[in-house]
Amino acid sequence: MRLLRALPRSCAPPDAEAQAGFARAWTALDDPPAILRLARTHALEGPIRAAAGPLAASSPAPAPPQQALSQRAAAEARLRHAWTRAALVEASAALHQAAVRHAVLKGPLLAELLYADPGQRSSLDLDLLVAPADLDAALAALIELGYFSEFGPHATYARAHHVHLHLARADRPLVELHFRAFRGFGIELAAEPLLDRSLPAGPGALRVLEPHDRFVYLALHAAGHLFERLGWLYDLKLFLAQVPLDPILVASRAEALGAGPAVALACAALADIEPDSPALDVLRALLPAPRRLPLAARLRRAHQRGPRDTPRATLERIAFQALLAPSPPAGARFLAHHLGRIARRRFQRALPALAPPDWAG
């Protein structure tokens, strides 16, 4: 965490004080290669390699193999970013041609906004937001490009209760076609208001969320995944430092959604790596601090210490989101829905002849 605090908070070259702070944190590490391997799982390898590169270059006895590995990783990341961005432009053009209003939630455009070298922030998929009424037209436009959409019980459940459908193509990154920006914690971040406030992102049809909407979305996305990747917190750190935000507007939009507790916990986690941000201090003071917040934070830490693919981990994720619902009744409804879904899926797997097919979703 100390290393994450010391990472630059601006896409501009860091000043001497910031470089010295990172150098102190980096040289205090016992096993830098192990940290880089861990950083890869948290989508932080690019920023850490970039910040550590000048230290290796200025060392009296630089390690050429490590430098070569860093240079190769950076080159591969830039190529991956260019490939992902080209796929995004192609998909956006197809949606525009089909008269489907859409916006980009994160991915390569977020990397270009926040990072001096966009390749430092890897994107494994494309997140595109459309209105629910335009979902089928959007699917048709992307299928025309050669994508295949998921179908069956999972797709049926996703349309009713989830936020996106997956589309795959062998030579392109996975597309997550969102018809809701977010659903979790017993709340929903609907597509239409975000699309109404979205802004152009350069030439062409690409659009991005308005900055305050994007901060709330990124905070909810990170919290919804229990901050399992620290790179999501680093995105928020860079966003807060580089994009002018009105804390009152951020807090009011979060509260209007019922997302105040979840965004409050995201901001508390962000304060661990960005302790000197006046804007963050103001925002935290404006957001609610219900008594269940510390319990949710403890559950999050316990979850991060254990394996992620066990029934216990699934229950921890559900309980975490229920704790951060806007009210106890909303949390109870969230809990009942997801526990009921688990029970239905298990029943369907055990006795498929007796259960409706859509219980597999």
Q: 318-327: per-residue pLDDT in tens?
A: 999 999 999 9
CA diameter of the chain: 72
Question: Where are the alpha helices (H) located in 98-180, listed in sequence order?
Answer: 108-114, 135-144, 153-161
Across the range 283-300, mean pLDDT stands at: 93
By CB neighbour count within 10 A (0-12 exposed, 13-18 middle, 19+ buried), where does 196 fall? Answer: exposed
Nearest to 278, CA basis, from 324, 247, 306:
247
Per-residue pLDDT tens over the stretch 169-189: 999 999 999 999 999 999 999
Per the CB < 8 A criterion, the answer to whether 148 and 155 are in contact is no
Nearest to 126 by CA among 189, 77, 161, 83: 83
Q: For residue 276, with 0-12 CB atoms within 10 Å meaning exposed, 13-18 middle and 19 or more buried, which class applies?
A: exposed
Full DSSP string of 242-295: HS---HHHHHHHHHHHT-HHHHHHHHHHHHHH-TT-HHHHHHHHHS---TTHHH
Rg (CA), the chain: 21
| Strand positions, DSSP E, 118-258 | 125-130, 148-149, 164-169, 172-178, 180-184, 187-190, 199-200, 207-208
User: What whole-number distance in Å separates Cα of residue 54 and Cα of residue 31?
Assistant: 18
Q: What residue has token string 């049926």?
A: 156
* CA 358 vs CA 18, 124, 163, 280: distances in Å: 54, 29, 18, 44
Q: How confident is the model at residue 61 (pLDDT cuts 50, 70, 90)?
A: very low
Distance CA 234, CA 338 (A): 30
How many whole angstroms separate alpha carbon 226 and alpha carbon 211?
22
Lowest average pLDDT, out of 66-80, 201-215, 285-299, goes to 66-80
User: Taking a C-beta distance cutoff of 8 angstroms, is the pair 165, 155 a contact?
Assistant: yes
- pLDDT at 165 (0 to 100): 96
Query: d(Cα 241, Cα 203) in Å, to the nearest integer?
Result: 26
The answer on pLDDT for 301 being more than 80 is: yes
* 142-146: long-range pairs with CB below 8 Å, 24+: 142/91, 142/94, 142/95, 142/167, 142/175, 142/177, 143/167, 144/94, 145/90, 145/91, 145/94, 145/169, 146/172
Yes or no: say if 50 and 44 are a contact pair by the CB < 8 Å rule: no
What's the chain's average pLDDT?
A: 89
| pLDDT given for residue 172 in this prediction | 95
Question: What is the pLDDT at residue 7?
Answer: 81
Q: What is the structure's pLDDT at 243?
A: 93
Q: Indicate if the pLDDT at residue 59 is higher than 70.
A: no
* Cβ(244)–Cβ(280) below 8 Å: no
pLDDT tens string 149-164: 988 888 988 898 999 9
Beta bridge partners of 125: 174
